[in-house]
Chains A and B, each alone.
Chain A
């Protein structure tokens, strides 16, 4: 049977061992409790070692030339040169018309000024034929390619009229210049991990895989033991 002295010693050892975990769990727990206040989801971490730990690889960047501007996508966001425009998972085309730049993503059409400002986003609910698989230009008229058909685009009335005899083919992507690719990667949310995810994984131990989870479970059990031994010592005083 364990005596009072041994119990005190055990209580001390358990306390010392799990003190590191308590600090870790307390700090991460408090931060996670105020995710919205601290805007943890908007804080993107980009350290190569951390991204490598999570197995996050640089995304493929697709680009099109629209006039003198580069329109690119990093599988999450569309960019005008290196400036983020709006969400665009799959960039399928970009053309410059006399009035604006049109950017087609698989499920939306972004209308952008020549300076890269977003004018409007047109989606299926607004009449956009899906999938928006590309753009084409013929005599200054813009056409959307969807399925096997071309549709003349009227951005004012949002009419997509089936068009026959479009002579030009769908605009093809071009190689992204290295400088633009570098700038995009530096701000890409597709090549980052948000602070909330990392804190959640530290809190649960998942950052270290299955062993980490077991370790946190063990720390929780030790915490329980610490509480029990503390009560026992106090009651036996």
Chain B
């Protein structure tokens, strides 16, 4: 009887392991469409582009700590809420990060796709939830600290930089309205 129970537990463990392997091998967690649905529910958001002036580009490069290639960034808007999908490299490959900003505060952060071999823990809510409600300080830092994850330092840093950039861009969009 006990043997049967042990076998059953082992089988469950094996299935769970195989399932988790399958999840981690699949790098896309959320499509753009799913992310936008989550951001705006059934409200029709408008797709817009924000053109970066030289001063914006300088700030974007300061925030991202490397050359910012793009001249315009696409975002989606409904009333005060904007959604940004940014690609940022953690170690080698880009992480696709979806950030929703509501009235200069972060509403949520989601990892849409993760392509690196290490650091995928950042997609879990125990990490992304820390960004909820954060806003940008004058020196382009988040107003509250975000705890890192051991072994995922570069991925954590990539998400933080992207969150700051989204807050900065949302602020600039608001100024132009």
Contact = CB atoms under 8 A, between A and B. Distances in A.
A156 B74 contact: no
Contacts of A119: 70-72
B71 A117 contact: yes
Q: How large is the interface on A (under 10, 10 to 19, 20 to 34, 35 or more residues)?
A: 10 to 19
B142 interface: no
Given A118-B71, A119-B70, A125-B31, A36 B91 contact: yes
Central interface residue in B32, B73, B154, by most chain A CB within 10 Å: B32
B32 A125 contact: yes
A121 interface: yes
Interface string B34-67: 0000000000000101000000000000000000
Given A125-B32, A126-B32, A156-B49, A120 B71 contact: yes
A36 to B, nearest CB: 7
A157 interface: yes
Interface in A137-195: 156-158
A41 interface: yes
B5 interface: no
Contact of A120 (B31, B70, B92): B70
Nearest to A35: B91
A157 B71 contact: no
B69 interface: yes
Nearest to A158: B47
Contacts of A126: 32, 74
Nearest to B48: A156
Contact of B72 (A41, A86, A120, A158): A120
A124 to B, nearest CB: 10
A119 B72 CA distance: 6
A113 interface: yes
Counting from the closest, the 6 A-B pairs by CB-CB distance are: A125-B32, A119-B71, A118-B69, A120-B72, A119-B72, A117-B71
